[in-house]
Amino acid sequence: MPSETIITVSSSNIKFGAGATREVGFDMARLGATRIMVVTDANIARLEPAAVVLESLRAQGLDAVLFDRVAIEPTEVSYKEAIQFAQDGRFDGYVGVGGGSSIDTAKVADLYAAYPAALLAYVNAPVGEGRAVPGPLKPLIGIPTTAGTGSETTGTAIFDYRELHAKTGISSVRLRPALGVIDPNNTRTLPRMVAVSTGWDVLTHAIESITAIAYDQRPASESPAARPAYQGANPISDVWAARAVKMVARNIVRVADGTADDEVRAQMLLAATMAGIGFGNAGVHLPHAMSYPVAGGVRSYVPPDYPRDHPIIPHGIAVTLNAPAAFRWCAAAHPARHMWAAQLLGVDTTRARPEDAGKILARAVADLMRRTGMPNGLSAVGFGPADVEQLVAGTLAQQRLLKLAPRPVDAVALREVFMNAMTIW
């Protein structure tokens, strides 16, 4: 089978700067929308970012309707509620304001209002049918209030599919927002551990896109329309991802120790967007695939600074707990890429041997985890060896991501990596 020779790099348009949210009414009017569904969660709905969005839209004479029932870490139930609201409301524009949960929910509402179908119709196979999005969607603006997911730049929407106790999602370039508004004012009130968790999501996005299988090692697409959004590591995504790794490495400790100022917050938010452009085209692989059953299998864990009303392993934590073991295992396929990632984190690799690349990168990630107060492996959030088979099964369902790993992944490999992720230091 011939290998791929082409990459297609795309991203949302980006607007950056303090106070940029106040221009969302102008931006949405320019996109031609008149009736707007503003998608957020109950917490953000009470805060300044949501108020500024509504004020700006209405100042332009637009009909802005608030939907504030986004679930943190969305499920199929919360997605269906937003879809019904969108279908009933007959909107011609969408604004997602909040974390990735809100922006992803806005994407899904936009999709299913435009092209109604059963929820699993567009969900990635093998969990869903994997249907292609039939055509263009209504304009959507993503306004992040966390420096993490990069959802304002990507064509992906993720949710917890409770039947499988694992995350899955929808992926299409048509889901990309028309505009991402990157406003550092919107992260000023972000709780410390929420900022740390989402910051780690940025870092893993960037390192995974650097260490993914190269785009020209993947089978060629059957047609231009079949070329996936996640295409493998490539020279253009590398630029964005490498910059993001450096920015997070320089700033995340200050986020964790509570000394972050406006400049640090701006750097973290920009890094999230840059990593979003990187992984939004290259893709993520093993750490993210492993994270989905981890988040879906939570029993009682609740991290500091998160609501205590239900157990949760936030996405950024779920990904990071697997990262050192995953990178150590993957490095044999391409030591130079993993060594480069360690260098971007600040490691002096002058005397390092290529065969030690995985160990070096894993150690660098683990050291930064300790400095930022992350849990010490899966055992610290409630998992043990008896859970490994369920975690493996949930990971094997994430074939879209596993295909991007630099080494072929099977159940035997996953058992090894999950066991090594139980305790990190």
- CATH (domain of 148): 3.40.50.1970
Task: Specify whether 84 is located in the same domain as 179.
Answer: yes
Residue 397 in domain: yes
One domain for residues 142 and 220: no
- Check whether residue 204 and residue 173 sit in a common domain: no
Same domain, 210 and 77: no
Whether 209 and 179 map to the same domain: the answer is no
User: Based on the domain organization, do 310 and 412 belong to the same domain?
Assistant: yes
How crowded is the C-beta side of 294, counted as CA atoms within 13 Å? 30
What's the number of domains the chain is made of?
2
Pair 304, 376 in one domain: yes
* 225 plus 320 within the same structural domain: yes
222 and 75 co-located in one domain: no
- Does 286 map to a domain? yes
pLDDT confidence of residue 160 = 87
Output the 3-class SS for the chain. Answer: CCECCCCCCCCCEEEECCCHHHHHHHHHHHCCCCEEEEECCHHHHCCHHHHHHHHHHHHCCCEEEEECCCCCCCEHHHHHHHHHHHHHHCCCEEEEEECHHHHHHHHHHHHHHHCCCCHHHCCCCCCCCCCCCCCCCCCEEEEECCCCCCCCCCCEEEEEECCCCEEEEEECHHHCCCEEEECHHHHCCCCHHHHHHHHHHHHHHHHHHHHCCEHHHCECCCCHHHCCCCCCECHHHHHHHHHHHHHHHHHHHHHHCCCCCHHHHHHHHHHHHHHHHHHHHHCCCHHHHHHHHHHHCCCCCCCCCCCCCCCCCCHHHHHHHHHHHHHHHHHHHCHHHHHHHHHHCCCCCCCCCHHHHHHHHHHHHHHHHHHCCCCCCHHHHCCCHHHHHHHHHHHHCCHHHHCCCCCCCCHHHHHHHHHHCCCCC
- Verify that 80 and 102 share a domain, yes or no: yes
For residue 161, what pLDDT is reported? 87
Range of the domain at 105: 13-187
The answer on 218 and 366 residing in a single domain is yes
Mark which of 147, 163, 187 sits at the end of a domain. Answer: 187
pLDDT in tens, the chain (425 residues): 799 999 998 888 999 999 999 999 999 999 999 999 999 999 999 999 999 999 999 999 999 999 999 998 899 999 999 999 999 999 999 999 999 999 999 999 999 999 999 999 999 888 899 999 999 999 999 999 998 888 999 999 999 888 877 788 999 989 999 999 999 999 988 899 999 999 999 999 999 999 999 999 999 999 998 888 899 999 999 999 999 999 999 999 999 999 999 999 999 999 999 999 999 899 999 999 999 999 989 999 999 999 888 899 999 999 999 999 999 999 999 999 999 999 999 999 999 999 999 999 999 999 999 999 999 999 999 999 999 999 999 999 899 899 999 999 999 999 999 999 999 99
Q: Which CATH number do you get for residue 308?
A: 1.20.1090.10
Is residue 28 a part of any domain in this protein?
yes
In a domain, residue 3? The reply is no
Answer yes or no: is 6 within a domain: no
User: Domain boundary residue among 140, 172, 187?
Assistant: 187
Identify whether 5 is part of a domain.
Answer: no
In a domain, 202, yes or no: yes
- Domain boundary pick from 160, 187, 214: 187
Q: How much is the pLDDT for 318?
A: 97
In-domain check, residue 4? no
Q: Are 117 and 222 contained in the same domain?
A: no
Query: What is the pLDDT, as a whole number, of residue 402?
Result: 96
